[in-house]
Amino acid sequence: MSAVAAVLSTETRHPDPRGCDMPTCPVCADSMVAAEASAYVSDNVISYLWTCDTCGYGFVTKHALRRFACN
């Protein structure tokens, strides 16, 4: 079985993705609930692998973490 993958940007209007900000499949527009896998790309970047349950399309997103300073 062959797989198709693309890297998509996760530039959002909101600082942190939550509930309604989760990605949708770019092929069939089905909503995604959870990433299939994740990996640290660097100290502050995480890469997520998404696979659509409806059509099987796969794509990767990246999320940059912000460092918080404690007082």
pLDDT at residue 62 greater than cutoff 60: yes
pLDDT recorded at residue 21: 67
Share of the chain above pLDDT 90, in %: 32
The Cα–Cα gap between 71 and 67 comes to: 13
CB 51, CB 58: distance < 8 Å:
yes
pLDDT recorded at residue 46: 92
Smallest CA-to-CA distance from 61 within 44, 38, 29 is with: 38
Q: What is the pLDDT of residues 26-51, one digit of tens each?
A: 999 998 888 999 999 888 899 999 99
**Phi/psi at 27 (nearest 5 deg)?**
-90, -55
Delimit the domains of the chain by residue range: 1-10+22-71
**When comparing pLDDT for 69 and 15, which is higher?**
69
pTM: 0.62
